[in-house]
Amino acid sequence: MTARDIMTAHPVVLRRDQSVQEALKVIAAHRLHDLPVVDGEGRVVGMLSTFDLVRQALPAYIVSGDLKDVAFAPDLSMTYRRLEEIGNRSVAEVMTTDFDRVAPETSLLEVATLLYRHGHRAHNVAVADKEGRLLGVIGIWDIFKQMGSLREIPYGGSR
C-alpha cells in the first residue's frame, strides 16, 4: 500500500492570496483540519493548519512552554484582537511551510508515522510529484479508511 493508493486525489486547495477568513470557511465546509496551499503551477507551497493558527494567536511565552499554566489569568482581550488580526491576513502570511510532503511511492507505514509524529503542526501530509505538483493529501481519515467498513465515509475533501 503506497501514498498514491490511500490519498485523496484532487483535494480542495487554497491560494496564497486568499484571506484567512475565506480559507477557514472552506476548511470548515469540508470538516478538515488543514488544507494545502498551491501556486499558479499547482505546486504545493504550504499548508494552512488550524492548529498552527491557534498557536499564532497565543503569546510567545505560552507557546514556548515558559508559562505552562495560565489558569490564574481570567482572560486576555489580546487573544481576540490577535485572532481578528490573523483573520484579515493572507494565507501566504500565516501558512506553515514546515509541512510533510511525500512522494506517491511512500508506504502507508511511513505516512502514518509522519502523521503521528508531526500531528502537532498539521493533520495532513501532502503527496507531490518530483516537480512539487500536488497530487493529493493524506489525512487521519484516509488511514482509517483502510479499515474495510469505513471505506465510504465522507471525509477527505475532494473537489
Partner 1 sequence: MTGMTALVVATAIFVATYIAIMTEKVNRAVIALLGAAIMVFFGIQSQAEAFKGIDLNTIFLLIGMMVIVAVTQQSGVFQYLAVWSAKRVGGRPWAILVALGVVTAVLSALLDNVTTVLLVAPVTLLIADVLRVSPYPYLFTQIFASNIGGTATLIGDPPNIMIGSAVGLSFVDFLVNLAPITVVIFAATLGPLYLIWGRKMRVEEEDRARLLEFDEREAIQDPVLLKKSLAVLAAVIVSFTAAHGLRLEPAIITLTGAVVLLWWSGRDFHQTFAEVEWVTIFFFVGLFMLVHGLENVGLLKILAGALATWSGGDLLLAGMLILWGSAILSAAVDNIPFVATMIPIIKGMAPAFGGEEAIRPLWWALALGACLGGNGTIIGASANLIVAGFAERAGQPIRFLPFMIRAFPLMLLSIAISSLYWWLRYV
Q: How far apart are CA 132 and CA 146, in angstroms?
A: 26
Contact map string, positions 76 to 105, toward partner 1, x by CB under 8 A: xxx---------------------------
Give whichever of 18 and 56 is closer to partner 1, judged by the CB atom: 56
Binding segment for partner 1 (CB under 8 A), chosen from 19-27, 46-54, 71-79, 119-127, is: 71-79
Interface residue with partner 1, options 71, 149, 152, 154 (CB under 8 A): 71
How many CA atoms, within 13 angstroms, populate the side-chain half-sphere of residue 98?
6
Beta strand spans in 50-153 (E)? 101-102, 124-128, 134-139
Going by DSSP bridges, is the β-strand pair 44-49/34-38 parallel, antiparallel, or unpaired?
A: antiparallel
Interface residue with partner 1, options 17, 40, 41, 73 (CB under 8 A): 73
Nearest to 127 by CA among 145, 115, 117, 144: 115
- Does 9 bind partner 1 (CB under 8 A)? Our answer is no
In the complex, what is the shortest distance from the CB of residue 74 to partner 1, in angstroms, rounded to a whole number?
Answer: 5
Q: How far apart are CA 39 and CA 95, in angstroms?
A: 13
Interface residue with partner 1, options 16, 43, 59, 92 (CB under 8 A): 59
In the complex, what is the shortest distance from the CB of residue 61 to partner 1, in angstroms, rounded to a whole number?
Answer: 4
Which residues bind to partner 1, rule: CB under 8 A?
Answer: 59-62, 64, 66-67, 69-78
